[in-house]
Amino acid sequence: MSAARGTRVAGKLAFVTGAAQGLGAATARRLAEEGAKVTLADINIEGARRVADAINARWGPRNAFAVHLEVTSEAGWIEALNAADAAMGGISVLVNNAGISRGGDIETLSLEDWKLVMSVNVDSVFLGTKHALKYLRANQPGSIVNISSIAGLIAAHNTPVYNASKAAVWLLSKGIALHCAKQGVDVRSNSIHPTYIDTPILDPLRQRFGKDEAEAKLGRQVPLGHIGEPADIANAVLYLASDESKFMTGAEMKLDGGISAM
C-alpha cells in the first residue's frame, strides 16, 4: 500500500496550465497528492485528461478536472476559469506553467517566432492573472505561481526571445504581488526559475545529440553535475501554493543546481 494522502495543500483549488505533460503534469500530481483539487488546462486536452484520470484513479473521483485552454486566448481563459470554478467550487491557486521556446539568435530569429513565444510565455501570465484574480480574491488566501526560468535571469547568445519572455514573467510576478498587497488582498505572487529539467521540452536537443549525450552536455553546465527532475520543480510549486509560504510574495525561487551562483 502506498503512502496516505498528505495535507499540505488540503482544501486548495488549483488551476495549472500546460498540465498535459512535463512540469505542469508533475505539479498537478504533486498538489493532488498533498490534498488539493486540481484543474489541468492545456491545448492538448487528451493529454490533460489522461493525467486527470490518473489522479482521480489514485485519489478518488472529482479531485482532478481537465479543460481545454489556449493560453494566448482571452476568451479561452474566461471560459476555462469559469469551468474550473464550477467544477472545483472555486480557484485559490493559479500556476502559470505553459511555455515554449524557439531557437535563433538576435539576427536569425524571425518576427513570427518572437511574437509566438512572447505571446505563449507572457500574454498567458497577463491574461491568466487578470481573469483569475476575481476567483482568487473570493477564495483567499490565494497564490499565483509563475514558471519563469533561470533563462529569465541569465542570458545566452542564442535564446533572445526565451530570455526576454522569461525576464518579463519574472518582473510581472512582482508587479502582481505589489498590486494584490496594495489592495489588501491575501493573494501572493512568486516566480520559479528552473534550469534544465527532464521533460519533453528537451526533446529537440535529445534528437540532435542522442538522449545520453544531450543530458550529459546539459548536466556539465550545472554545478551539481546533472539536470533536474520534474519533482524538483513540483515541490517548489507545492511550497508556494501552500500556506507554508504565507510571508513570501514578489519573490523568486531559483532551482538551477547552482548555475546562478557562478
Segment interacting with ligand NAD (CB under 6 A) among 177-185, 190-198, 204-212, 236-244: 190-198
**Residue 162 appears among annotated catalytic residues:** yes
- CA distance linking residue 201 with residue 141, whole number of Å: 32
Q: Is 128 in the site for ligand NAD (CB under 6 A)?
A: no
Cβ 177 to ligand NAD shortest distance, Å: 19
Q: Is 42 in the site for ligand NAD (CB under 6 A)?
A: yes
Write each residue from 191 to 210 as x if it is in contact with ligand NAD (CB under 6 A), else as -, in one continuous string: ---x-xx-xxxx--------
Q: Is 149 in the site for ligand NAD (CB under 6 A)?
A: yes
Q: Is 160 in the site for ligand NAD (CB under 6 A)?
A: no
- CA distance linking residue 137 with residue 94, whole number of Å: 12
Is the C-alpha dihedral spanning 166, 167, 168, 171 positive or negative? Answer: positive
Q: Is 39 in the site for ligand NAD (CB under 6 A)?
A: no
Q: Is 69 in the site for ligand NAD (CB under 6 A)?
A: yes
Cβ 16 to ligand NAD shortest distance, Å: 10
Q: Is 97 in the site for ligand NAD (CB under 6 A)?
A: yes
- CA distance linking residue 89 with residue 46, whole number of Å: 23
The residue from 135, 162, 196, 239 that is catalytic is 162
End-to-end CA distance of the chain: 44
Instruction: Find the binder of ligand NAD among 98, 136, 161, 259 (CB under 6 A).
Output: 98
Rounded (10°) angle between helices 160-182 and 124-138 = 20
- CA distance linking residue 253 with residue 233, whole number of Å: 10
Q: Is 43 in the site for ligand NAD (CB under 6 A)?
A: yes
Judged by beta carbon, residue 182 or residue 220, the one nearer ligand NAD is 220
Per-position b or e across 39-76, b if 16+ CB within 10 A of its CB: bbbbbbbebbbbbbeebeeebeeebbbbbbbebbbeeb
Which of the 8 DSSP states describes residue 250? S
**Where do contacts with ligand NAD occur on this chain (CB under 6 A)?**
17-18, 20-24, 42-44, 47, 69-72, 97-100, 120, 147, 149, 194, 196-197, 199-202
By annotation, the residues acting in catalysis are 162
